[in-house]
Amino acid sequence: MSSQKIPEDNLPVVQETAQGAVEGTDDPFADPGLPAHKPRIQDIDERAANRSERAVAFMFTLSMLSTVGFIASYVIFPVDKIVYIWPFGHVSPLNFSLGLTLGFALFFIGAGAVHWARTLMSDVEVADERHPIEATPEVKAKVLADFKAGAEESAIGRRKLIRTTLFGALALVPLSGVVLLRDLGPLPEKKLRTTMWAKGKLLVNMNTGEPLRPEHVPVGSLTFAKPEGLEEDSHDFLSQIAKAALMIVRIEPDDIKDKRQRDWAHEGIVAFSKICTHVGCPISLYEQQTHHVLCPCHQSTFDLSDGARVIFGPAGHALPQLRIGVNSEGNLEALGDFDEPVGPSFWERG
């Protein structure tokens, strides 16, 4: 070890602390103790304490208003609307307002709690000795006493304005989580049970956009149709065509095995949903000699001459049939909607 002497300037000096003086020793790591406690302005000036109380209550109130704004955003902003907000660019006002209001609601609760703790709660430093892990009855009694003292020092019983606004903010914030449950998806209502097909709706060729006539559908052909009035530039075209897409096949009437299918057809022209009943893929492969149609996704096969029943693959039920006829102008028209939901089964199909 070095024999060089430590300069006197580096030796410990006597320090005044809350516990008294620590005499200078040769130990450079002597415990100096806690510094003397300095009271805050709120501890000695009740007007300053009241100002801090109002500031905390104001932040809790802002949290409540932000939570109300979060819930109101679901009502005010449509889910598909896009607006320009500088400097974020084109964003969804619904998502923007939800994130902003929920962030403010949580921030103001935290900011109010921090300001409350730093200005109104007791900040007297307390030193305590370490104790065994297992608590003794004396320790338990001390913890309970400390808890009661902390509650009293927090002034939550005396500061009614803070207590009321805090409880209000904490009570409203969980409502945000309840409202989020509504965002799990759109309510099904009856949208999956009905399509655009209705009595008198013309069958329109998907390729030409012209109404279909019986002479346009030769025996053995496969034609795809959509309801009259459904245009590709419509805002809901994809959601509507996903349910209303139709395939038209003409079969010799004597080859149709199912009686209801024959009654719902017109001179052997049958109309079935194009949507596979497995996972909703569009069916497009037709075998003329057997009258079978094949789904390209998972090879579910349907017999169009026998009520479009499933003869192979994972599909769970037959393709829904649309009852059709001919109007006074000689165009093919629907005589109603499908008698059952199209596409895959769903939980409320019944």
Q: Which domain holds residue 72?
A: 39-122
Residue 179 forms part of a structural domain: no
Residue 224 forms part of a structural domain: yes
Token pair 């596409």 in the structure block, residue:
343
pLDDT at 347: 58
Residue 337 forms part of a structural domain: no
pLDDT at 284: 83
pLDDT at 218: 92
**Residue 194: Cβ-neighbour burial (10 angstroms; 0-12, 13-18, 19+):** middle
* Distance in angstroms (rounded) separating the CA atoms of residues 232 and 243: 14
Identify the domain boundary among 89, 104, 122. 122
Residue 141 forms part of a structural domain: no
Residue 57 forms part of a structural domain: yes
Identify the domain boundary among 70, 88, 122. 122
CA angle 161, 167, 173 (to 5 degrees): 130
pLDDT at 152: 83
Residue 144 forms part of a structural domain: no
Same domain (yes/no): 117, 204: no
Per-position pLDDT tens, the chain of length 350? 444 554 555 444 444 444 444 555 567 777 777 778 888 999 899 999 999 999 999 999 999 999 999 999 989 998 888 999 888 889 999 999 999 999 999 999 999 999 999 999 988 887 777 766 777 888 889 999 998 888 888 888 788 898 899 999 999 988 888 877 777 776 667 778 889 999 999 999 998 999 999 999 999 889 999 999 998 888 888 889 999 999 999 999 889 998 999 999 999 999 999 999 999 999 989 998 899 999 999 999 999 999 999 999 999 889 999 999 999 999 999 999 998 889 887 655 54
Q: Write the DSSP assignment of 129-160 as a string of letters.
A: ----SSPPHHHHHHHHHHHHHHHHHTTTTT-H
pLDDT at 21: 45
* Distance in angstroms (rounded) separating the CA atoms of residues 140 and 150: 15
Residue 29 forms part of a structural domain: no
Residue 293 forms part of a structural domain: yes
Same domain (yes/no): 220, 313: yes
Identify the domain boundary among 87, 107, 122. 122
Same domain (yes/no): 104, 205: no
Same domain (yes/no): 208, 317: yes
pTM for this one? Answer: 0.51
Same domain (yes/no): 113, 212: no
CATH number at residue 248: 2.102.10.10
Q: Total domain count for the chain?
A: 2
Same domain (yes/no): 219, 319: yes
Same domain (yes/no): 115, 226: no
Same domain (yes/no): 218, 314: yes
